[in-house]
Amino acid sequence: MTDAPRGPRPVDPLIALRPWEAPELTSWGRLPMNAVDRRSGALSLDGDWRFQLLPAPDAPVGGSWSSAQVPGAWTVQGTDDLPQYTNVRMPFPDFPPGSPDANPTGVYERAVDVPGEWAGRRIVLQVGAAESVLLVHVDGRPVGVSKDSHLAAEFDLSEVVRPGERSVLRLTVVKWSDASHIEDQDQWWHGGVTRSVLLYATDPLHLADVTVRAAHDGELRIDCRVRDARGALPDGWYVSGELEGRVLTQDSEFDRVNIEDDRVSDFLGEARIHTVVPDARTWNAETPELYDLTVRLHRQDGTVADSSHHRVGFRDVEIAGRDLLVNGERVFVRGVNRHDFHPLTGRTLSREDMRADLVLLKQFGFNAIRTSHYPNDPTLYDLADELGFYVVDEADIESHDHAHEIADDPRYLNAFVDRVSRMVLRDKNHPSIIIWSLGNESDYGANHDAAAGWLRRHDPTRPVQYEGAAKLDWAATDDASDIACPMYAPLEDCVAHALSGRQTRPLIQCEYSHAMGNSNGTLADHWAAIESTPGLQGGFIWEFWDHGILQRVNDGQPAGRAGAGLYDNGVAAPGHRWAYGGDFGETIHDGAFIADGVVFPDRTPKPSLYEHREIAAPVRIECYKHEGVVLGNHQHFRGLDWLTGTWELSLADGRTLTAPAELPGLRPGETAAVPLPFEVPRDGGEAWLTLRVTVAEDQPWAPAGTELCVPQVRLRGPEARQDTVVDRPVEVDDEGLLVHPLLASAPALSLWRAPTDNDELGGMALRWRTWGLDSLVRKVVSVRRDGGRVSVDAEYAGTVGVVRHRQVFTPVEGGVRVDEEAELPAEFDDVARVGSVFGTAPGLDLLDWFGQGPWESYPDRAFGAPVGHHSAPVDELFTPYLRPQESGGRHGVRHFTLSAPDATGLAVVLDEPRQVSVTRHRAEDLTAVTHHDELVPRSGCVVHIDAAHRGLGTASCGPDTFPEYRVPAGVHRWSWTLRVL
């Protein structure tokens, strides 16, 4: 840290230029993008910088400095400019290319001691990312300008710094600009320098770019571009390569090596190394084999002037008809959309953060990532290469609020081509990238065609996709997308297109199954159709993260880096909460729509991840027959030798048997019959066989023993329930309500649930409220006693209809059986649930159940919850979605107990598998608050037993649940028996 340079400053031509108002200007003084690796040996400039936040870019820099962490967004570092979330709307009213006068501008300064040994070398500054316009000065002298908030900008400082001396580097970051209109992504708006800043040096003779193309058959081509900072290239330079210790020269052990030096001018040289690697280990997402490659640039005397390291994967990507092929194989794309996000630092992530993201995704069956909606941090691609992911790399282009105008606006033509080309030039050598994307939700126009034309010419080895082009006609062949990549298309439309005979290209949804709150219903139905319908190949769930920012409740500020450790299992510590749109005082925002991921902000998995894990299972039980089961290998490239398993037999009477499993040696796509691991007992009732599949040996993304899937098959159905009626009275009060020592409130009819995000945004919650389902009024019609049996008829009145409800209480051995019937009028078609709700006395804190679990499940999201015996504390059953809503349900429950530490409590046996939830909250508790820190748990349990429960769907952004998962009008019947333990 040092004081600002003394003396008067010259008039700043960068400020006079006002680049934040010039859409035709994408850069000034910025070096071309390239794929040369410069991280090794670079001088890191990360850390504390002097900082001022100005109200506008042309405001004078004052005398008072604070400090800011680089990389990092100033919006989460204690400034008055706080995060703001919008989805479609721009956060200011100016039309493109305008920006507001009130325009937060961060000024960063720090002293840089340039190493003396860099004398005579070319010195380059790399700013990893800055949002949204970057202006660079050294010792008061202007150096350059860059736009594009998610790609690095490099500037040659050789003429403005002196090795062995100290210089003052200033980075001025302007938050709003013409570029903001094409960075209108569904995420938080931040400001600052959000990726690392480096200073590095090269020889004047240097590698300007390296392009590596490694084919599935072992063909390797390395194209190098060479420049000399001094001007003309010297005579005699050449390049060489080293692949895993083997030098690529004329006398190489390889079959064919050809080094060509075809200088195209005195200032730019091109060279190529071309060889074939025999028996090359190929790269794919299941077996991501990589080779270490070093490319060297030599002077005439053989000394090395420059070098670049790369990790090479031999693989091919092509489209054959309507199939996307990797190494000639049609692969299913099990993808997720992913932002660069962190709940403390906004957009700034460490390598450890990114690795944890990918490890979690890999463990839950994902094999693909779409970098929504901009190029991600470069480290992510290194990790995707290493761990094995197919990547759709997406350009930093989204003009959602003004999409139609900008798509054909020639003022933005340079920006479109610039952003697409720079992404490709940076990322082209990563084998994980199998598709380029032109951006997101920006309509379709000439600017897209221009960008696609450049891309297809520069890199014909990968397809390009763009939803905005393909949505006009999925069967078109002449637009800017090689893939039909719709968003949230109804499944029936996708299947119909694949069966129509008109399909011309792969159909892979770029977004589907919106994961907002308690969601991802019908995911298994989608994949059943995808796997059985040629032409459908998968898609990308929206999205990975809930973008909740950890916020201090007392002052409303982001917790920042000091918040590390103040959250666990998806829950913020006392005094903190997960902030979403509107929580920072924004008047323009889109609320909790930012909380739409399959993980909570701290990367805790939501229950929907277990659904996906089972859908993507590498090994499956195909069927049960002839006293054995048929196993199938559902991978594309890998055998089963890296997996192991354990058989588990669950019987309804409480017994669980286990045995080790020996998996057969199946190649991808093969099946084999295996005998049952043990004899199934003749007694015990319903029986389910589960194969718990785990990793046999450590993988880069999973230690040995990590569970990957739990395929299951039913071996025997349930036995008929037998209740012995006894002669004793059932205690029912004058209002027809059951009186029981363990019940704090009697069983009552429930047709309402605390609306999920899908219910609210899909319009169902409004309809239910209009019907009065959240405030039904009960009226007793009759209470009839017949010996010990009591029949109660009641009416529940809404605002537009009346529900007739009957309860029959019958004394049985050890308890009471409750037979219920509800008749819903025609007006009440498609309600949230039909069932019973009651409260228990305090102290019953442990739930044991036989049914689906152990994680939350619902009728249209139950594929990943195996039937078995499960147990959990009541306080752990509730799922803390960022906006409180219906959660904690378990599907297909046959019976359950609620017990105290002394093993006393109650037991419930159901007439058939039912939807059950046990939490500390009634629906009205959840709907009365907006955040979990406002919830007050009840001392007892709130128990729901549903005859029918509506599916979840994804209607917050996408299709609703299917008709078969909706709750119709008419008569519903259910029965359950309550006993004391």
Tokens of 158: 């050789």
Give 774-818 pLDDT, tens digit per residue.
999 999 999 999 999 999 999 999 999 999 999 999 999 999 999
Q: What is the CA radius of gyration of the chain?
A: 32
d(CA 968, CA 948): 9
The residue annotated as part of the active site, out of 109, 154, 398, 441, is 441
Among this protein's residues, is 219 annotated catalytic? no
CA distance 877 to 888: 5
Q: What pLDDT digit, counting tens, does each position of 917-956 carry?
A: 999 999 999 999 999 999 999 999 999 999 999 999 999 9
Tell me what the pLDDT averaged over the chain comes to.
Answer: 95
Q: Which of 94, 107, 112 is nearest to 134 (CA)?
A: 107
- pLDDT at residue 116 tops 80: yes
CA distance 223 to 777: 77
* Structural contact between residues 732 and 738, judged by C-beta atoms closer than 8 angstroms: yes
pTM for the full predicted model: 0.96
Q: How far is CA 666 from CA 366, 662, 695, in A?
A: 21, 12, 16
CA 543 to chain centre: 4
pLDDT mean over 689-697: 98
pLDDT digits (tens, 9 = 90+) for 340-371: 999 999 999 999 999 999 999 999 999 999 99
Cα separation values, 811 from 130, 367, 904, Å: 72, 55, 20
CB-based contact 207:233 (threshold 8 Å):
no
Q: Is 777 left (phi over 0), alpha (psi -120 to 50) or beta?
A: beta
Residue 1, burial from CB neighbour count under 10 angstroms (0-12, 13-18, 19+): exposed
pLDDT at 183 over 50: yes
C-alpha separations of 671 from 300, 332, 649, 813, 926 in Å: 60, 18, 22, 49, 47
Model confidence at 245, pLDDT cuts 50, 70, 90, reads: confident
Is residue 8 over pLDDT 60?
no
Secondary structure of 263-297 in the HEC alphabet? Answer: CCCCCEEEEEEEEECCCCCEECCCCECCEEEEEEE
d(CA 236, CA 263): 11
Instruction: Tell me what percent of the residues of the chain surpass a pLDDT of 90.
Output: 93
Asked, as a colleague might, if the bond just before 373 is cis with ω within 30 of 0, I would say yes
Query: Following DSSP, what letter does each residue of 341-362 receive, concatenated?
Result: -BTTTBT---HHHHHHHHHHHH
Give pLDDT tens digits for 71-113: 999 999 999 999 999 999 999 999 999 999 999 999 999 999 9
DSSP structural state of residue 667: P
pLDDT of residue 261: 45
Instruction: Give the pLDDT confidence of 467-477 residue by residue, as tens digits.
Output: 999 999 999 99
Q: Any idea what DSSP says for residue 516?
A: S
Question: Of 109, 131, 398, 511, which is the active-site residue?
Answer: 511
Q: In angstroms, rounded to a whole number, what is the distance separating the alpha carbons of residues 981 and 23?
A: 73
CB 151 within 8 A of CB 422: yes
The pLDDT of residue 262: 43
Side chain identity at residue 973, one-letter code? R
The helix (run of H) or strand (run of E) holding residue 543 is none
pLDDT tens, residue by residue, 550-606:
999 999 999 999 999 999 999 999 999 999 999 999 999 999 999 999 999 999 999
- Going by the DSSP 8-state scheme, the letter that residue 535 receives in this structure is T
Residue 665: what are its φ and ψ, rounded to 5°?
-80, 85
> H/E/C letters for each residue in 803-819?
EEEEEEEEEECCEEEEE
- Span 143-167, mean pLDDT? 97
423-442 pLDDT per residue, tens: 999 999 999 999 999 999 99
Who contacts 28 (Cβ-Cβ below 8 Å, separation ≥6)? 14, 17, 19, 144, 145
The reported pLDDT for the residue numbered 265 is 55
Q: What is the pLDDT of residues 259-296, one digit of tens each?
A: 444 444 567 999 999 999 999 999 999 999 999 999 99
What per-residue string of b and e applies to 348-367 under the rule 16 or more CB within 10 Å gives b?
A: bbeeebbbebbbbbbbbbbb
The upper half-sphere exposure of residue 606, i.e. CA atoms within 13 Å in the direction of its Cβ, equals 24
Taking only the tens place, the pLDDT of each residue in 492-551 is 999 999 999 999 999 999 999 999 999 999 999 999 999 999 999 999 999 999 999 999
φ, ψ for residue 905 (rounded to 5)?
155, -150
The verdict on whether 441 is a catalytic residue reads: yes
At 218 the three-state DSSP class reads coil
Contact residues for 504 (Cβ-Cβ < 8 A; gap 6+): 322, 475, 476, 477
Nearest-angstrom CA–CA distance, 542 and 531: 20
Q: What is the pLDDT confidence band of residue 11, given thresholds at 50, 70 and 90? A: low
